[in-house]
Amino acid sequence: MAKSFSGWLWRAVIVMAVLVLPLHHTHAGGAIAIGPCAAFGYAFDYPDIAEAQAVALAKCSQDSCEVAVTLKRACGAFAIDGTNACGAYGYAAAPSLGDAQNTALRKCHDFGGRECVIRTWACDARG
């Protein structure tokens, strides 16, 4: 009986290791960079936030872009005034995409946007 229990125990340990190891390597870093007149770049599911920020900045079409949102097991959104791309904007990060988008739209409206729309969004591995 001890032999069958130890065999079962080893199988359980192997199964747990197979299930847990992939979680350790989950990519969970993202960023959204924004610039003048609705310019943006984004990155998600990178090994770390610093790499995601660098990629987001590299993808942004303006030299003066800055990282506005960082993501770690979250979602982010960037909203602009659809009638004036160089006008009001808002951005946010939140645990869910809906919350991030709603907050970004609300901030855009708070800063004077009349017809705010989501310009871009991103979620990392867990968002």
What is the tens place of the pLDDT at every residue in 2-37? 556 555 444 544 444 434 444 444 567 999 999 999
Distance (Å, whole) CA 78 – CA 66: 13
Could you list the beta-strand ranges (E) of the chain.
29-34, 40-46, 66-71, 75-81, 89-94, 116-123
**What pLDDT was estimated at residue 62?**
87
pTM metric for this prediction: 0.77
Q: What percent of the chain has pLDDT over 70?
A: 77
41-45 contacts, C-beta under 8 A, 24 or more apart: 41/65, 42/76, 42/120, 42/121, 42/122, 43/122, 44/71, 44/122, 44/123, 44/124, 44/125, 45/124, 45/125
**What pLDDT was estimated at residue 123?**
94
Domain-wise residue ranges, the chain: 26-123
**What pLDDT was estimated at residue 15?**
44
